[in-house]
Amino acid sequence: MKRFTALLAAVLVSAGGVLATSSTAQAASCRSGYFCVWTHANFDGMKIEHSGDDHWWEGNMSNQDSSWANHGVSGPGVKDHVKIYDGRKLTGGVTLCLGPGQEVSYNARANDKGSSHTWTSGC
């Protein structure tokens, strides 16, 4: 079962790689290896780029987040998903979880809710 899961993950990763290099170019301007957050929808407004965790989003981003991009790089044992939490210090529940390469231009349920995030191995 473990072997199957690893194989499946490899297939999913390579499928994502194909998608990324096809005509559906990534819309969000966010460096490779980073998780980016914008204060406005459609990757607009103020942007903050995170290479690691931030358990205490500052006031100019806390409860201001309106679009998100996970440009984390996948690899064996790498935490390439990002969970965003309602409260600081990863409290209050997850408002949004992004897989590697995932970009969310707007999400009504998560809009202006986030206050901390962590890299994780899955959603």
> 24-43: which residues touch Ca ion (CB under 5 A)?
39
State yes or no: residue 66 binds Ca ion (CB under 5 A). Answer: yes
Q: Which stretch binds Ca ion (CB under 5 A): 67-75, 78-86, 89-97, 104-112?
A: 104-112
Nearer to Ca ion, 64 or 70 (CB): 64
Q: Which two tokens stand for residue 50?
A: 């995170």
In the β-sheet with 103-104, what is the strand arrangement from edge to edge?
44-50, 35-40, 67-70, 103-104
Type of residue numbered 92: G
Give the H or E element holding residue 20. helix 2-21
Please identify the residue of the shown chain whose CB is closest to the bound Ca ion: 66
Q: How far is the CB of 90 from Ca ion (least distance, A)?
A: 21
Residue 28: how many other CB atoms lie within 10 Å: 18
- Binding residues for Ca ion, rule: CB under 5 A, are 39, 64, 66, 112
